[in-house]
Amino acid sequence: MLCCSHKYLIGLSERVSFSKPFKHFTAFPQALSETHHISLQPPLAPSMDAFFAELLQSSTNFQSLTHGKGVHAQIIKARFTPCLFLVNNLLNMYCKCGDLASAHQLFDCMRTRNAVSWNSLISGYSQMGLFDDALNVFIEARNAQTKIDKFTYASALSVCSRRVDLNVGKVIHGLVVVGGFSQQVFLINSLIDMYSKCGDIGQAKRLFDASDELDDVSWNSLISGYVRVGNVEETLRVFSRMHSYGIKLNSFALGSILKSCSEHDDVKYFGEMIHGCVVKVGLDSDDFIGSGMIDLYAKNGVLHEAIKFFKAMPSPNVVVFNAMIAGFSRLETKIGSGLSKEALLLFSVMQRRGMRPSKFTFSSVIRACSLVNGFEFGKQIQGQLFKYNFQSDEYIGSALIDLYSNSGSIEEGLRCFHSVPEQDIVTWTSMISGCVQNEQFEKALSLFHELLCKGRKPDLFTLSSVMSACANLTVARTGEQIQCFATKAGFDQFTIIGNSRIYMYARAGDVDAATKTFSEMESRDAISWSAVISSHAQHGCARDALMLFEEMEDRRVAPNEITFLAVLTACSHGGLVDEGFRYFESMKIDYNLGPSVKHCSCIVDLLGRAGRLADAEDFILDTGFDTDPVIWRSLLASCRVHGDIERGRRVAERVMELEPTASSSYVLLYNMYLDTGKLSLAMKTRDLMKERGVKKEPGLSWIEIGAQVHSFVVGDKSHPQSSAIYAKLEEMLSKIEKMGYTNTTRVSLMNCHSEKLAVVLGMILLPQLAPIRVMKNLRVCRDCHTAMKLFSETETREIVLRDPIRFHRFRGGSCSCGDYW
More confident residue, 606 or 379: 606
Distance CA 656, CA 659 (A): 5
- Segment 661-715, tens digit of pLDDT: 888 889 889 888 988 888 889 899 989 998 888 888 888 999 988 878 899 998 8
CA atoms of 383 and 404, how far apart (whole Å): 15
Distance, in Å, from the CA atom of 587 to the CA atom of 26, rounded to the nearest integer, reads 71
Query: Which 8-state DSSP code applies to residue 779?
Result: P
How confident is the model at residue 260, as a pLDDT?
62
Whether residue 345 contacts residue 317, with contact meaning beta carbons closer than 8 Å, is answered with: no
Asked if residue 318 is part of any domain, the answer here is no
- Residue in 477, 423, 473 with CA at minimum distance from that of residue 450: 423
124-138, 158-172, 370-384: segment of lowest average pLDDT: 370-384
Query: How far apart are the C-alpha atoms of 277 and 249, rounded to whole Å?
Result: 9
Q: What pLDDT shows up at residue 332? A: 56
What confidence score (pLDDT) does residue 389 get? Answer: 73
CB neighbours of 784 closer than 8 A, spacing ≥ 6? 750, 753, 755, 756
Query: Is pLDDT larger for residue 437 or for residue 243?
Result: 437
Residues 6+ positions from 695 with CB-CB distance below 8 Å: 663, 689
Residue 754 inside a domain? The answer is yes
pLDDT at 81 over 90: no
Distance of CA 10 to the CA centre of its chain: 48
pLDDT at 28: 39
Three-state secondary structure call for residue 773: strand
- Tell me: do 456 and 558 sit in the same domain: yes
Q: For residue 422, give the amino acid letter.
A: E
Confidence of residue 269 (pLDDT cuts 50, 70, 90): low
CA pair distance 518, 495, nearest whole angstrom: 10
Contact 97, 69 (CB under 8 A): no
3-class secondary structure, 704: strand
575 and 718 together in one domain: no
Q: 642 and 505 in one domain?
A: yes
Between CA 99 and CA 124 the distance in angstroms is 9
Is the pLDDT reported for residue 743 higher than 70?
no
Q: Give CA–CA dist 654/730, Å, rounded.
A: 43
Amino acid identity, position 775: M
Distance CA 560, CA 682 (A): 42
| Structural domain for 795, as ranges | 703-815
Domain end position, chosen among 312, 341, 362:
312
What pLDDT is attached to residue 747? 44
| Furthest CA-CA distance within the chain | 108
Has residue 750 got a pLDDT over 70? no
- Tell me what the mean pLDDT of segment 637-666 comes to: 90
Question: Residue 37: in which H helix or E strand, if any?
Answer: none
At residue 689, the 3 state secondary structure works out as helix
Amino acid 577: pLDDT: 93
Q: What pLDDT, on the 0 to 100 scale, is given for residue 145?
A: 77
**pLDDT over 80 (residue 264):** no
Are residue 616 and residue 726 in the same domain, yes or no? Answer: no
CA dist 38 → 104, 111, 124 (Å): 16, 7, 22
Could you tell me which residues come within 8 angstroms of residue 160 by beta carbon, excluding any fewer than 6 positions away?
A: 166, 168, 169, 172, 194, 198
Per-residue confidence (pLDDT) for residue 212, from 0 to 100: 81
Name the residue type at position 121.
L
Show Cβ contacts of residue 42 under 8 Å, excluding neighbours closer than 6 positions. 83
Assess if residue 735 is contained within a domain.
yes
Q: Is residue 583 part of a domain?
A: yes
* pLDDT at residue 32, rounded to an integer: 36
Strands 772-776 and 701-705: antiparallel
**At 328, which amino acid appears?**
F
Could you tell me the pTM of the whole model? 0.62
Q: Could you give the count of Cα atoms lying within 13 Å of 768 in the half-sphere of its Cβ?
A: 3
Residue in 422, 483, 487, 502 with CA at minimum distance from that of residue 456: 422
Using alpha carbons, list the distances in angstroms from residue 596 to 98, 333, 587: 52, 14, 11
φ, ψ at 531 (rounded to 5°): -65, -45
Going by pLDDT thresholds of 50, 70 and 90, the confidence category of residue 266 is: low
- Count Cβ atoms within 10 A of the Cβ of residue 219 and give its class: 0-12 exposed, 13-18 middle, 19 or more buried: buried
Q: Is the domain of 493 the same as that of 620?
A: yes
Q: In 3-state terms, the chain is what percent helix, strand and coil (to 5)?
A: 70, 5, 30
Do 638 and 741 fall into the same domain? Answer: no
pLDDT confidence tier of residue 41, bands split at 50, 70 and 90 = very low
**Cβ atoms within 10 A of the Cβ of 136, count?**
13
Cα distance between residue 544 and residue 225, in whole Å: 37
Considering the domain architecture, whether residues 591 and 472 belong to the same structural domain is answered as yes
How far is it, in rounded angstroms, from Cα 400 to Cα 52? Answer: 44
Is the pLDDT higher at 46 or at 150?
150
d(CA 798, CA 788): 10
pLDDT at 726 > cutoff 80: yes
Cα separation, 168 vs 85, in Å, equals: 31
Average pLDDT (80-107) is 83
Q: Which of 79-88, 350-359, 473-482, 492-501 has the highest mean pLDDT?
A: 492-501
Provide the residue count of the chain. 821
DSSP string, 539-580: TT-HHHHHHHHHHHHHTTPPP-HHHHHHHHHHHHHHT-HHHH
Look at residue 636 in the predicted model and tell me its pLDDT. 92
Q: Do the domain assignments include residue 292? A: yes
Helix (H) or strand (E) holding 206: helix 201-210
| Confidence label for 331 from pLDDT (cuts 50, 70 and 90) | low
**CA–CA gap between residue 613 and residue 642 (Å, rounded):** 9
Assess whether pLDDT exceeds 60 at residue 6.
no
So what's the pLDDT on residue 710?
93
In this structure, the answer to whether residues 473 and 621 fall within a common structural domain is yes
Q: Are 354 and 316 in contact (CB under 8 A)?
A: no
In whole angstroms, give the CA distance from residue 717 to residue 687: 29
Element (H, E) at 145: none
Is residue 213 within 8 Å of 183, Cβ to Cβ? yes
SS3 of residue 48 by DSSP? helix
Looking at 264, 286, 312, the residue that finishes a domain is 312
Distance CA(205)–CA(320), nearest Å, equals 33
Give the tens place of pLDDT for each residue, 387-427: 777 767 777 888 888 888 888 888 888 888 888 877 888 88
Beta bridge partners of residue 166, listed in sequence order: none
Of the pLDDT bands very low, low, confident and very high (cuts 50, 70, 90), residue 226 is: confident
| pLDDT tens per residue across span 613-634 | 999 999 999 988 989 999 999 9
Q: Which helix (H) or strand (E) holds 537?
A: helix 526-538
Q: According to the model, what pLDDT value does residue 42 have?
A: 37
Q: Is 347 exposed, middle or buried (0-12, 13-18, 19+ CB in 10 A)?
A: buried
pLDDT for residue 233 is more than 90 = no
Together in a domain, 512 and 636: yes
Q: Are 385 and 362 in contact (CB under 8 A)?
A: yes
Q: What are 514-552's pLDDT values in tens digits? A: 999 999 998 899 999 999 999 999 888 999 999 999 999
Question: pLDDT value at position 57?
Answer: 81
Q: Are residues 612 and 713 in the same domain?
A: no
- Is residue 549 one of the residues assigned to a domain? yes
Rounded to whole angstroms, the Cα distance separating 787 from 781 reads 10
Query: How many domains does the chain contain in total?
Result: 4
Residues 483 and 591 in one domain: yes
What does the pLDDT look like over 419-464, one tens digit per residue? 887 788 888 998 999 999 888 998 999 999 999 998 888 988 999 9
Q: Is residue 220 part of a domain?
A: no
Q: Where are the alpha helices (DSSP H) in 128-200?
A: 131-143, 150-163, 166-178, 185-197
Q: What is the percent of the chain where pLDDT is above 70?
A: 87
Alpha helices by DSSP H, listed for 590-721, are 597-609, 613-623, 629-642, 645-658, 663-675, 679-692
The DSSP secondary structure of 253-322, one letter per residue, reads HHHHHHHHHTTSTTHHHHHHHHHHHHHHTT-TT-HHHHHHHHHHHHHTT-HHHHHHHHHH-SS--HHHHH
Q: Are residues 512 and 625 in the same domain?
A: yes
CATH number at residue 601: 1.25.40.10
What 8-state DSSP symbol labels residue 70?
H
Q: Between the CA atoms of 558, 560, 564 and 569, what dihedral angle is there, to the nearest 10 degrees?
A: -130
Calpha distance 48→50 (Å, rounded): 5
Question: Which has the higher per-residue pLDDT, 357 or 34?
Answer: 357
Residue 510: pLDDT band (50, 70, 90) is: confident
pLDDT value of position 18 = 33
pLDDT for res 588: 93
Which of 747, 739, 610, 778 minimizes the C-alpha distance to 675?
A: 747
DSSP label at 769? T
Q: Strand 814-815 and strand 799-802: pairing?
A: unpaired
Mean pLDDT, the chain, rounded, equals 82
Cα–Cα distances in angstroms (integers) from residue 735 to residues 167, 482, 612, 765, in the given order: 58, 41, 39, 20
578 CB-contact burial (10 Å; exposed 0-12 / middle 13-18 / buried 19+): exposed
Q: 548, 536 in Cβ contact below 8 A?
A: yes
- Tell whether 481 is covered by a domain: yes
What is the pLDDT, as a whole number, of residue 80?
73
Q: How far apart, in whole angstroms, are the C-alpha atoms of residue 149 and residue 296?
A: 40
Say how many Å lie between the first and final Cα of the chain, rounded.
80
DSSP secondary structure string, 403-443? HHHHTT-HHHHHHHHHH-SS--HHHHHHHHHHHHHTT-HHH
Among 612, 646, 680, the domain boundary falls at 646
Question: What is the reported pLDDT for 751?
Answer: 66
